[in-house]
Each structure stands twice: as structure tokens, then as C-alpha cells.
Structure 1
């Protein structure tokens, strides 16, 4: 295919259209058919968030990037008195409890617990690559094939972001970075709307001292990782520069910040992966099997090298007069940042990522 017939776009523009355009992936596809998040792994995840809501005194939970409402259904079953809001570009899913509000836009103000579980990684970003002269250039992609070429030099604002958060200057030609500035802006907007309570982002990511040199761009289709081709047939995701997002929240007015692992946070919130005593199998075999199943699910939620290495970024607003103060360290335990890295299917080394759906 000659270049004259191709539609070259930056990765950010191509992914925006592929995921959120009129016929985009998240408008037309059920995400759970393509990948699993912690919500799908175990009801213990929703139970932990319900406990966190109680701890911070939240009677409202806002789920940003709500998929098909799986977390909201689970929270409604656990505590029907919670005011629940789903934020998602897709139409309201059938069978969602009537009490759940469904909207395409962030609420103007949030008083309560706002959860963004694997939302930031799906905010499209541009990809930069050093050319032979070691100039950072935007990578362009052909949406039909996933083929790439180098485009124009990176603009001033994105160059400043790279210099602060993902320096390429000392790298060899071909070194790549995903420019996380759109995610910083999106999270800053979340924090600015938080009037009281807690904003929580749960995602796979990395920090400045351990950025993956080849980047983390990847796709998911039908339960399996695939090459990231922005043709609307798959989810396209890249890991989150969580330290940059945290600083953006602080600059937007966050009162407290805790950056920790899902393993540490869920353990502090009562998720227990311990196997039941074997003696229970002799006295209550059905109860033993149920407890064993729940322990297995909990173990997956906190597993090193998997979901347990997801980052939890929790930030509060500054409490106003008479507002309940939130102690994040008491709620989530002492911070325990993820450290595990694992090889991706493409052979890159990156922080552990989203869990493919088991397909049969």
C-alpha cells in the first residue's frame, strides 16, 4: 500500500477515534469480552471499595470508565443505600439498577469516593521516538495496518513533559516514550471537581526511575493481547506514568496523596488470600470449597507480577470547615510501591499489565 493511500495520524489522534469515535471500541464493544479487570476477578474488589467508602465517610461512589456497570452492580448489592454514578461513553447498560445514575460526563462536583479503575491507561497518548539525530519526533500510525513512521518534532509543551517525566535526551536512536500529559490534565480535572472525599485511580504503570525504554503500547482483543492497531477492533492501552499523574493532582489542589500497590491497599482493606484450614474439608466440604474459591480469587487480586502490582493513587481534597478529615495512611496502610516488572508478549520489559480474559 503506497503512502498516498494511507491515513497517517499521531497515535493519540488515531487511538481517540478508534476507542471513542462514533463507532469506537468503547461505544460498541463490551470491554469484559476482551479483558478482565479486578472487578471481574472477584467480588472482594467491590467489597474493599465499599469498605473504603465507609472509611472515608462517602455515601456517593462515582465510577469513571464504568464499562457495563459491573462495579456499580456489585456495590449496589453490597450497600443499596449508596448513591452510585457511572461515567461512560457507552449507552446505559440493560438491567442496571434504576437508582444508578449513568452519564457520559464527569459530575461538576464530587462529594464522596471517585474510582477510576483502569481508566487512565485508556486515555490516548502520543508516542515520541528519537530519530537518528536524536531529535524526539511524534510517531505516526496507519489505522488500517498499524504500520508506523516518524512525523514532526514533538511540540514545546510535550517536550517539557518529556524533560520532566520521561527524558529521552540520553537515549539511543529509536528510544521511545509515551507522552502522558493528556492523562495528567484529565486527572487534574478530576481532582478539581472533588469537593470532599477521595479520588482513587487504579492502574498499571511506572515511575520516572523505571520507565520502559521501548514503551508499553499494546492491544487486547477477544481475551488475548494483540498488536495495537487503531482500527476499532481492539482496546489500545499504554501504562500510566503514575508519578506524573500524582503531581498533576497535587498541582490541582489535592490535600493528601498516597501512591501504593494494590496488594498493600487491598490487604489493608481486609482482602484475605489465606487458604481455609484443611480440616474444614472434613467437617464442611461445601463450605471448604467455597472458601477455597474465594481465597483463590483474592490471591489473584494481590498476586505479585499481576494485579497485586497495580498502582493505587489516592488523593483527597482539602477538607472545608466541618468536613470529615480522611487519613489515607490509616485507610490504605503504609505505602508499598510496586516493583515487579514482567516481560510482555511483545518481548518488551514493562510493569505487569491488564489481565486477558480467559477464553475457552
Structure 2
């Protein structure tokens, strides 16, 4: 048996790992990218805002970190106006092999390119950076949770070192507010590998904006028994580290935030980028029925992307590098800098 972190690494990214499967992530769960082209359109608008903040560089990078099969980066490049598209360069960062038929303008890489200028966008990437799980035993000691290939767990060694320090700062296992001692049965996922992965991704950006979009939680609202779970063919399932399912856990985005970073909800971010769920005027139905139907469909898609209790509650962690944050609008963005209130605890299954 071994800890969940190495077990998940092998199950997701090993030779027979889940993310090596030919159907790709879209065959098992639905993200904002798959829900509507409005999402890619909004990201394209964000890229244009970054372009303006960078004073229109000769080469404008869009780095899709955790690119799946390249759906987002391809759609973003297509959504750009000609003048911006002529300077744009797409990078898809993914461990799986490059899919056939991908736009020739997109470079497929196993790691983020170094020193580029533009927008680095990580949509539901951090949740698949493997983490270890700990559980408090009957003596109040947080112990590493071990797991075998069938998903059977057992207690391991006490947690120490940097992992223990991360837990103490970001996810103390002390029960209700005011508690001082660890409580038996409480669980946590140690987010230190995600903090490190995000810092490394941001460091690869020369100038521009880095954005991580994920479902998660913040200090003061951590789930008492953790969030580790699995997904297969559109349904939540037990996390079994044998390569048959996605293994994921919600992200402590406030812990990932670097100095100058900012958290806001997807609902607020997309509204700032022109996506809202407002219904079209009924007058349009009588003057242009086809346009009304199209507008109504778009409103429905926008509503899904911004819905409370769903995709709209996803967190956006924005990290400017050498530029002002183009999504920092005090009128439209009421959330304080991290740490802040609870972020979503949902994942949207595929349909």
C-alpha cells in the first residue's frame, strides 16, 4: 500500500492511466469548456484585455494548462479578431499525446513554455494535481492514509515536516471553531503539491496573467471529511486508483494564491467578461424569431456557466505578472483578497 498521492499519480498519468485513455476527459465529465462556446469566448476576451495591458506585444501567448484534447485553446484562437489572431500563439500543456487534427498553430507540450508573454489559463487542472490524504486516529494523531489498487484504505505513519506545517496553517484538523485538539475521523487533503505546482506555472510566465479555475474551499469552510472522489462516464464513483476513473479533490485555492493574487467566483469573472444569463427581449421573438431562439439558447448556456450552486461558484485565482490585474474591478468584484469565503464544492458530470 502507498499514500494517495503516488497512487493517484500512477492511476491518472501512468502508462495505463485515466488521462491516457482515447476518449479524453470529456468522455467522463463536463467542464465549462464543454458546456458552452461562451466560455471560450470569454477567455478570448480576457486574452484581449491582457494584450492591451501588455501594449500589444509582437507575440501574444495563450497557454492552456491541462489542455485535455485542446478544446479550449483551439476555440480561443478561433474567437480572436484577425489583428490579435495574427500575433497569437497557442500552447497546449498536457501529458497525453497530441490529438489528430489539432490546429497547426497550437504547440503541444508536456510542460509550460518558459518566459512567454500573455495569458496562462489552467481550467480544472489543480484538482488533478495529486495530493496525499490524512485522517486523525483515535489518539488525535493525523496519519497518512494508505491505499491499495482496489481502493481499500489503512492508516499509515504520522504526518510531519512540511506537510504538517501546511495542515497547521491551511487546514487544521481541530473540529468546530474554538477546538484545540485534532478530532478522530477528520480528514484533509494536503495541498502543498498544488501550491508548488501553481507557483511553478506562474514562474514560467514572463509577463501577463495566470488564471486557475477550479472548484474548491477556503479557510474557515474546509470540508471536515475531505473531498477525494472519482468520476467515470458522467457519474461520481468511489475513487479507485487503478486507472479506471478520474480521481480528484477540491482545491484550497486560498493556499495556492501568491502575493498579488486575487480570488473571485466564476459568476463574477464571466459577468465582467460579458457573459450573463439575461433572457432576450420578447419583442425580438416577433421581429426576428430565429435570432430570438439563438439568443435564448445563449442565455441558457450563460445561465449554466454562472449558476449559483453550480459552475458559477467555481473559483478563479488570478495572478498578474508584471501588469495590472485586468479583472480587478472593485465595483463588479466584491470579494476580498485571500483568504476569503467558501468556494464551490461541486463538479458538473457529463451528460
Residue 128 of structure 1 is matched in structure 2 by 134
Report how far residue 193 of structure 1 moved: 1.7
Within a 5 Å distance, the mapping from 1:150-189 to structure 2 comes to: 150-169=155-174, 170-189=181-200
Shift of 1:77: 1.3
Note if 1:19 corresponds to 2:24.
no
Structure 2 residue ranges without an equivalent (≥5): 55-59, 175-180
Partner of 1:336: 335
On the 8 A contact 1:138/1:154 being kept in 2, the answer is: yes
Distance 1:93 1:260 in 2: 33
* 2:114/2:206 contact within 8 Å kept: no
Distance (whole Å) between structure 2 residues aligned to residue 331 and residue 194 of structure 1: 26
Give the Å deviation of 1:328: 3.8
Q: Could you tell me how far 1:99 is from its partner in structure 2?
A: 0.8
The yes-or-no answer on 1:283 pairing with 2:287 is yes
8 Å Cα contact 2:319/2:325 also seen in 1: no
- Residues 1:200 and 2:211 aligned together: yes
Tell me the TM-score normalised to structure 1 length.
0.88
Are the aligned partners of 1:329 and 1:335 in contact in 2 as well (CA < 8 Å)? no
1:83-120 deviation digits (Å, cap 9, x = unpaired):
11000001111111101111111212231100000000
Alignment match, 2:105: 99
* Shift in CA distance, 129/332, structure 1 to aligned 2, threshold 3 Å: farther
> Offset at 1:331?
9.9
Query: Aligned match of 1:241 in 239, 243, 252?
Result: 252
Q: How does 1:74-113 map to 2 (within 5 A)?
A: 74-79=75-80, 80-81=85-86, 82-113=88-119
* Pairs aligned (count): 329
Residue 306 of structure 1: aligned partner: 310
Q: How far 1:279 sits from its partner (Å)?
A: 2.5
Q: Look up the SS of the partner of 1:225 in the other structure.
A: strand
Q: Could you say what secondary structure the match of 1:356 adopts? A: coil
> How high is the TM-score relative to the length of structure 2?
0.90
Matches within 5 A, 1:36-115: 36-57=30-51, 59-79=60-80, 80-81=85-86, 82-115=88-121
CA contact (8 A) 1:64 1:116 kept: yes
For structure 1, the 5+ residue unaligned runs are 1-7, 251-255, 342-350
- What is the distance in 1 between the residues matched to 2:235 and 2:273? 31
Taking structure 1 as reference, are residues 165 and 339 closer, same or farther at Cα in structure 2, changes over 3 Å only?
closer
Residues 118-173 of structure 1, C-alpha deviations (whole Å, 9 max, x = no match): 00000000001000101010001111x21111111113110000000000143420
**Displacement of 1:32:** 0.2
- Asked if the contact 1:62–1:113 (Cα under 8 Å) also holds between the matched residues in 2, the reply is yes
Deviation at 1:194, TM superposition (A): 1.9
Partner of 1:32: 26
Tell me the equivalent position of 1:139: 145
Please give the alpha-carbon distance, in whole angstroms, between the structure 2 residues aligned to 1:175 and 1:39. 34
Report what 1:346 is aligned to: none
Q: Distance in 2 between matches of 1:262 and 1:242?
A: 13
- Provide the C-alpha distance between the structure 1 equivalents of 2:341 and 2:277, rounded to a whole number of angstroms: 20
CA pair 19-332 structure 1, distance change in 2 beyond 3 A: farther
